Amino acid sequence: MEKVTMYGAAWCGDCRRSKRFMEENNVAFNYIDVENDPTAAAKVVEINGGAQSIPVIVFEDGTHLTEPSDNDLKAKLEALSIL
Please compute the mean of the pLDDT values over residues 57-71 and round it to a whole number. 96
The tally of domains found in the chain comes to 1
Q: What are phi and psi of 4, to 5 degrees?
A: -130, 135
Domain that holds residue 60: 4-79
Sign of the alpha-carbon dihedral angle for 44, 49, 50, 56: negative
Please compute the mean of the pLDDT values over residues 24-49 and round it to a whole number. 95
pLDDT band at 38 (very low <50, low <70, confident <90, very high): confident
Query: Among candidates 5, 77, 63, 74, which has minimal Cα distance to 34?
Result: 5
What mean pLDDT is reported for the chain?
95
Q: Would you state the torsion angle of the CA atoms of residues 1, 63, 73, 24, taken in this order, to the nearest 10 degrees?
A: 10
pTM of the entire predicted model: 0.93
